[in-house]
Amino acid sequence: MTRQLPALLCVLTLSATLGSITSAWADPPAHAPAHGWRKKHDPYYQGYTGKKWESDYGIRSGRCDTRAAGAVLGGVLGGAIGAQVGQGAGREIAILLGTVTGAVLGAEAFGDLDRACVGHSLELARINQRVLWTNPTSGMRYEVMPQRDFAQDGRRCREYALRQGGGKAQRMAACAGADGRWESLGR
């Protein structure tokens, strides 16, 4: 009996060890893929188009953090030449630049940083949520307010009001393309 006890303990220990190893290597079940620590504790923001963002750049609290957006944008614009534009958050902001406002506001007053804030507002702000920012270079204040969601030609679109300075809000519309770029409908 004394010889069988160590063998039995060895078998039980080996069984317990192998059992825990195989369960650690197993993929999560299909019905519960999001139960990991990282998924629960690493925040992300899901946009209107379904894209997940690591940062909301202040949009959810009603402002566009121009310092954070500008830091990402500056890195992208400084290093981007040609068609390939960055990776990660830099690429996301560059994609949002798009042609959101067209020529309606004028190129001098409305820069890339402002286009990034408009695009990010269209992606992350709720209907009738105001998003404010001041361009740190021009000192111009802006306000964007998404007003209505709709679809056109299979694309997700939004109508929004854009106010520049103390002027009257302009009603505009833009649609998200397959690449995530918001394009003005020229309404």
Q: What is the pLDDT along the chain (187 residues), one digit of tens a residue?
A: 566 666 666 665 656 555 555 445 555 566 665 556 655 666 777 777 877 777 788 888 999 988 777 665 544 444 443 334 445 555 555 545 544 433 334 444 567 888 889 988 999 999 999 999 999 888 999 999 999 999 999 999 999 999 998 889 999 999 998 877 888 887 5
Q: What is the pLDDT of residue 160?
A: 96
Q: What is the pLDDT of residue 178?
A: 81
Place of tokens 């004028």: 106
Q: What is the pLDDT of residue 113?
A: 83
How many alpha carbons fall within 13 Å on the CB side of residue 59? 27
| Number of Cβ atoms within 10 Å of the Cβ of 184 | 17
Q: What is the pLDDT of residue 82?
A: 35
Token pair of 140 as six digits:
């111009």
Q: What is the pLDDT of residue 85?
A: 44
Q: What is the pLDDT of residue 87?
A: 52
Q: What residues form DSSP beta bridges with 99?
A: 183
Question: What is Dmax (Cα atoms) for the chain?
Answer: 93
Token pair of 72 as six digits:
């990402």
Helix-helix angle 112-124:66-79, to 10 degrees: 120
Entry pTM: 0.60
Place of tokens 């695009």: 119
